[in-house]
Amino acid sequence: MKRHYLKALIISASLILTSLGISFADDHKRGGTLIASMGSNPRHLNPAVQSGIATGFPGSQLFATPIRYDNNWEPQPYLAESWEITDGGKTVRLNLVKDAVFHDGVPIKSSDVKFSLETIQKNHPFKTMFGPVIAVETPDEHTAILKLSQPHPALMLAMSSQLMSIIPEHVYGDGQDPATHPQNSKNVVGSGPFKLVEFKSGEHVILERFDDFFIKGRPYLDKMVIKIVTDPAARTIALENGELDFYAFENVARNVVRLKKNDKLEVTSKGYAAIGPIDWLAFNTKRGKTADVNVRKAIAYAIDRKFILKAIMLGVAEEARTGIHPGSPLYDPNVETYEINIEKANQILDDAGYKKGDDGMRFGLTVDFGWPPLRPNAEYTKAALKRIGIDITVRPSADFPTWARTVSNHEFDLTWDTVFNWGDPVIGVHRTYQSSNIKKGVIWSNTQQYTNPKVDAILEKAGKEIDPEKRKALYSEFQKIIVDDLPVYWTNTLPYHTIYNKKVGDPPLGIWATSSPMDMTYIKK
């Protein structure tokens, strides 16, 4: 993130292959089939109209994006061989690779970039990604010029991963609604390193090397089979007995610990910094006792992050202190950490006038949780808060929609949740803290109903600040304020791990995990 914006007017990539920031020793071999797996069934395979990591894995293999990221958060050329940012960040010029073609052989033109971006603007749930883009000009077939209403540093990350898939206008612009287009699941025509052989819902996605991929010699794999295995225990056994070569996004701590003991497998938590999943305890800042910041602080002091990391996450997750993922260059760890301090927590509550009753309890609150894996957190909350005289009732929801309705309609006191950063804070962080995003009925909006005009102002400024240092300072200030206001109490990153057989070379361990092209992955012989 250091040098990519404004500072360099022109970043040109002379050699695509060497500039990817990954070492290209000669051990990369052509051929072979990778048997991978995914844990949930994707709705369809078109990331332009469907967000989420389930679509992201096959979607990023099927569709290329203008740029990609290396392991150090540096943007690298992909479908755009170079780009220029001018006009104080309000004009972004993409110079496309000249000989790139879609899977049906039709050349990829700048008009496809324009069409893709407009489709995404209309259909993708993350409206902030391309919100400031007001027009896309196409002076020639290989140049797309994005015109912005204001500087928009989030644009770089929004043009990578699965977020800006380039889809062919001659296929998805045929008049049918792209969101429900039949070719989202069948006969997908993409622009990425692999083409679709077969997608059988609930069973598998089979991909095959696209021989005319615009990066010569890539991809290395001939075939990629992505089996849909939803049961974590079965998946673990399949990895252990060699039936599966590769699985990303494993978040069951128990399975991670178990698989780490297997010497045929590599298990790593690398590669999820931009996905940025954070577990947190959210407070209703407008209703009942949690509207009082003292109560929220007392709760934070009574909940032991270290206990959660050690006992619930079994030591495979990272501590998260703010709303920005610790893997992000914008993360600021120098904030109040709310180390466990029962005495202080009790003191805060006493001072705020919440007297203990005869039974040792001050008042009661409820705690919800969005996903079954967060149940232990909810149970722990009950035990932990009993020590400061808060009587917690755990309210399990029947399933996700039930919970989503409760929380998005603001009918909760406390709730455990997992929320993703999705690259730039503008995409996945702002939404939780901006008062303009308090939207009843919409899950993962500002459901805490947190309002702080100062935070609103900082976020608005940071969203268009193009100087990386100044931007970082703004986000530091933001993190300090939200840690003090505590609309949510962040505890840990989700223990996402990538597990792969040692015969797999160069798996996707960049910032976007499997939501990035796997054209460099190969099978060792």
Site residues, another protein (CB under 8 A): 33, 35, 37, 40-44, 50-55, 123, 125-127, 179-180, 182, 184-185, 200-204, 206, 225, 227-231, 233-235, 237-238, 240-241, 243, 398-402, 404-406, 408, 420, 422, 428, 431, 439, 441-445
Distance CA 412, CA 415 (A): 7
Quote the least distance from Cβ 151 to another protein, whole Å: 23
Alpha helices, H only, 444-513: 453-464, 468-485
DSSP per position, 105-165: SPBP-HHHHHHHHHHHHHH-S-TTSSTTEEEEEEEETTEEEEEESS--TTHHHHTSTTTT-
Alpha helices, H only, 327-369: 342-351
Other C-beta atoms lying within 10 Å of the C-beta of residue 503: 14
Checking DSSP bridges between strand 522-523 and strand 504-505, what pairing results, if any?
A: antiparallel
Sheet containing 10-12: give its strands across: 10-12, 80-86, 91-96, 143-148, 133-140
Quote the least distance from Cβ 212 to another protein, whole Å: 23
The residue among 133 and 298 lying less far from another protein, judged by its C-beta, is 133
Distance CA 234, CA 228 (A): 11
Quote the least distance from Cβ 183 to another protein, whole Å: 11
Distance CA 299, CA 349 (A): 9
Quote the least distance from Cβ 329 to another protein, whole Å: 22
Quote the least distance from Cβ 173 to another protein, whole Å: 18
Token pair, residue 69, equals 């990221």
The residue among 405 and 454 lying less far from another protein, judged by its C-beta, is 405
The residue among 109 and 235 lying less far from another protein, judged by its C-beta, is 235
The residue among 185 and 435 lying less far from another protein, judged by its C-beta, is 185
The residue among 72 and 176 lying less far from another protein, judged by its C-beta, is 176
Quote the least distance from Cβ 51 to another protein, whole Å: 4
The residue among 23 and 230 lying less far from another protein, judged by its C-beta, is 230
The residue among 238 and 488 lying less far from another protein, judged by its C-beta, is 238
Q: 284, 459 in Cβ contact below 8 A?
A: no
The residue among 333 and 401 lying less far from another protein, judged by its C-beta, is 401
Amino acid 235 reads: R
Residue 176 CA from chain centroid, whole number = 29
The residue among 80 and 374 lying less far from another protein, judged by its C-beta, is 374
Q: 29, 39 in Cβ contact below 8 A?
A: no
Quote the least distance from Cβ 232 to another protein, whole Å: 10
Closest to 132 measured CA to CA, from 154, 159, 110, 160: 154
The residue among 52 and 288 lying less far from another protein, judged by its C-beta, is 52
Quote the least distance from Cβ 52 to another protein, whole Å: 5
Distance CA 515, CA 524 (A): 23
Q: Is the peptide bond before 277 cis (omega within 30 degrees of 0)?
A: no
Spell out the residues 6+ positions from residue 280 whose beta carbon is closer than 8 angstroms to its own: 320, 323, 416, 417, 418, 419, 488, 489, 490, 491
Quote the least distance from Cβ 468 to another protein, whole Å: 25
Quote the least distance from Cβ 240 to another protein, whole Å: 6
Quote the least distance from Cβ 58 to another protein, whole Å: 14
Q: 6, 467 in Cβ contact below 8 A?
A: yes
Helix (H, G, I), strand (E, B) or coil at 319: strand
